[in-house]
């Protein structure tokens, strides 16, 4: 159950955001093989001056299409994470016209006992999932 948080520069339409979120979910399904309704996404829209993403000496040129994605998840293999990163960039380029240089991804890994899906219960630990 990854939780994806997106930071984008405001100005995308509701339809454009739906397309972006659907593309991200397809990447999650392909990389992590979770059930289709295992979908948790949050979008934060920011003013341009609130997002500063400079090149880290990698030769990246960024535009206002920049998308920062934070993936909160139970441990995943390096292969799964690499596949997700590549698949997300492919999906964003094909579905949204977002260039791979405009996609920054960070994984935040936590233990199964760190998740409660509701009712104040750590369902992964109690076996209620």
The answer to whether residue 2 is catalytic is: yes
DSSP annotation of 67 reads E
Half-sphere exposure (Cβ direction) of 81: Cα atoms closer than 13 Å:
15
**67 touches 8 (CB < 8 A):** yes
Catalytic residue of the set 2, 35, 36, 75: 2
Asked if 100 contacts 27 with a C-beta cutoff of 8 angstroms, the reply is no
DSSP for residue 118? B
| Whole-Å CA distances, 19 to 1, 126, 129 | 20, 35, 29
Q: Which residues have a catalytic role annotated? A: 2
């Amino acid at each position: 159950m990854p939780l994806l948080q997106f930071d984008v520069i405001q100005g995308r339409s509701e339809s454009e955001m739906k397309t972006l979120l659907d593309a991200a979910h397809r990447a999650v399904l392909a990389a992590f093989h979770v059930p289709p309704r295992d979908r948790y996404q949050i979008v934060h829209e920011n003013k341009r001056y609130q997002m500063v993403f400079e090149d880290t000496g990698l030769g990246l040129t960024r535009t206002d299409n920049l998308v920062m994605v934070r993936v909160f998840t139970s441990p995943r293999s390096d292969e799964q994470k690499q596949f997700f990163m590549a698949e997300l960039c492919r999906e964003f380029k094909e579905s949204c016209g977002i260039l791979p240089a405009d996609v920054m991804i960070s994984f935040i890994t936590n233990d199964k006992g760190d998740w409660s899906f509701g009712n104040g219960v750590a369902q992964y630990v109690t076996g209620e999932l």
